[in-house]
Structures are given as C-alpha cells and as structure tokens.
Amino acid sequence: MSAANPQLLGASYSVYVRIARLALIEKGVAFDPLEIDIFGDHAGDAAYLKLHPFGRIPTLRHGDFTLYETAAITRYIDEAFSGPALQPSDVRARARMMQMIGVMDSYLYRPLVWGLYVALDDAAKAGKPADVAALAKAMMKARLALKALDDLASDGPWLLGESLSLADLHLLPMLAYGCVAAEGRTLLQEQAHLQDWWERMQALPSVATTRFAAERV
C-alpha cells in the first residue's frame, strides 16, 4: 500500500463528502481533497466515471485502492489507519451504529436535505413560495426519522455513548443543512437527545473546519 496521502474526490457542498472528511479528520489522517462537482464542471466526466460508475460522490483513492460508497469509505478509514476508534468494539453497539446510519440514509437524508433545505433554497432563489404540501410531507418524513434516531440514541454525550462514532459523523452534515431553515431547527428541537447532541457536536474542531457555505450565511 502506498505511503502517499489518500485522496478524497468530491464537492465540498456534499453531505456525503463531508461525512468522509469528518472521518478522516477525526481519525487524524492527512488527505488530499480533490474537488469534483458532479452537477457542474465534472457532470458526466468519463474519467471520473471510471472510478465511480454511478457518477456519485465521494470516492476515496489510497494508493492503488479505489473505493466508493460513503459507509464503506468511512469504515475503511477507521480500520486502515491508526488513531482513535470510530466504531464500537461491542458487536451490538456496532450493529446499532449501522442501524442508525441506515435510518439516516434511507429515511432522513432525502426529506431533510432535498425536501426541506433544497426546496426552500430553490424557492427563495426563484423568488417564489415553496410548495406547502410538498414541504409538509418532507417535514413529516424527517420528523419520523429524527424521532427514530432520538429513540435509538444512548444517554451518553454521543449517539452510541461515551465515544464518538461513525454514526455521529454521518448525521451531522444532514442536520447541518436541515438546520439552515427555521423549519429544520424546529424539527430538531422536538428531539431532546438530538438537540443536546447537536450542541455538543458544534464544539468539535472537525465540524468547524468543514462547515458548509450555507451554514455561514
């Protein structure tokens, strides 16, 4: 395996690229970010499609090893490099971590990020009101997912207890976009555990250094 820094390909605005960046930073891994905008200059880029046949982001390159799919990337980062463990050693806690990540990917990401943040942002840029019915549907789905995650969360400072894990790093970027909107902040405030967790996460240097541009407006 090459001793060169791993390369993380993807756009800084991406939820899933930020998840991988957070894992690399928390693990203490030096890496080279390569900006790949799949909605702009690199849309349909043949060279990138050789690395990721579905044309999504992120992709990780480490020496002669190329990997896509965020959950696979973050687990590789945790297991391939020295540094603080980002996965529980206990089999049940590790299964709970993957369950929570599955909930985030399957039930939270789309309604919270696209159904709420993107819909409101697009409407504001167009100078038009958002689709009220579509917004209500997205909020209902996001509320259900957040409630499920709140119920699964431990009583410790992090989602799985005393140690930061990949579950924490997976959720943060999704909520970061959701909480740009007042509606998203309201959804979060309904979940006591997650609200407390969110405030603790803001103190992490990795979170501060990877903020989305939308969070700084």
pLDDT of residue 39: 82
pLDDT of residue 42: 65
pLDDT tens string 111-122:
999 999 999 999
pLDDT tens string 33-80:
999 998 876 666 889 999 999 999 999 999 999 999 999 999 999 999
> Does residue 59 share a domain with residue 35?
yes
Q: What is the CATH number of the domain that holds 131?
A: 1.20.1050.10
Among residues 102, 78, 92, 90, the alpha carbon closest in space to that of 29 is found at: 78
Backbone angles phi, psi at 146, to 5 degrees: -65, -40
How much is the pTM? 0.95
**Tokens 């391939």 correspond to what residue?**
80
- What total of structural domains would you count in the chain? 2
- The residue from 55, 80, 105 where one domain ends is 80
pLDDT of residue 3: 55
Q: What is the CATH number of the domain that holds 58?
A: 3.40.30.10
pLDDT of residue 43: 64
The β-bridge partners of 161 are: 158
> Does residue 47 share a domain with residue 128?
no
SS3 101: helix
pLDDT of residue 63: 95
pLDDT of residue 1: 39
> Does residue 155 share a domain with residue 98?
yes
Domain span including residue 48:
7-80
Please state, in angstroms and rounded to a whole number, the distance separating the CA atoms of residues 201 and 169.
Answer: 9
Measured CA to CA in angstroms, residue 193 lies from 69, 109, 209 at distances of 28, 19, 24
pLDDT of residue 2: 44
Q: For residue 180, what are its two tokens?
A: 């740009």
Question: Sheet holding 32-35: strands in order across?
Answer: 32-35, 7-10, 59-62, 65-68
pLDDT of residue 34: 96
Spatial contact of 61 and 77, defined as CB atoms under 8 Å apart: no
Low-confidence ranges of the chain (pLDDT < 70): 1-3, 41-44, 216-217
Please state, in angstroms and rounded to a whole number, the distance separating the CA atoms of residues 147 and 157.
Answer: 18
> Does residue 101 share a domain with residue 71?
no
Please state, in angstroms and rounded to a whole number, the distance separating the CA atoms of residues 27 and 30.
Answer: 9
